[in-house]
Amino acid sequence: MANIKSQKKRNRQNEKARQRNKTLMSDLKTSIKKVEEAAAAGEPTDELYLEAQKRIDVAAQKGLLHANTAARKKSRLAGSLPN
């Protein structure tokens, strides 16, 4: 356990950030999964795809995903959609 006041504060900040990042990544994965399941079932995916795309962009903007990773995820997601 840290003895230094600034390190104690930093640990609290890190824990808050970890929880925030965990929530965003969980939401991102869920939205991607919904799109893939809807596409597999032959259901309409337009709104779900836009929501997933938005979540990917937000994750990239906040630094949770690298820009190229975000682009790859969006591309693969678009490729899985029915024509």
Model confidence over 26-69: pLDDT tens digits? 999 999 999 999 999 989 999 999 999 999 999 999 999 999 99
pTM of the shown model = 0.86
Which pLDDT value is given to residue 28? 97
1 has pLDDT over 90:
no
Q: Are 56 and 65 in contact (CB under 8 A)?
A: yes
Question: What's residue 76's pLDDT?
Answer: 94
CA distance 55 to 38: 17
- Residue 30: CB atoms within 10 A of its CB come to 11
* Local structure of residue 3 (DSSP, 8 states): -
What average pLDDT does this structure show over 65-81?
95
Domain segments of the chain as ranges = 44-83
Tokens of 64: 């949770």
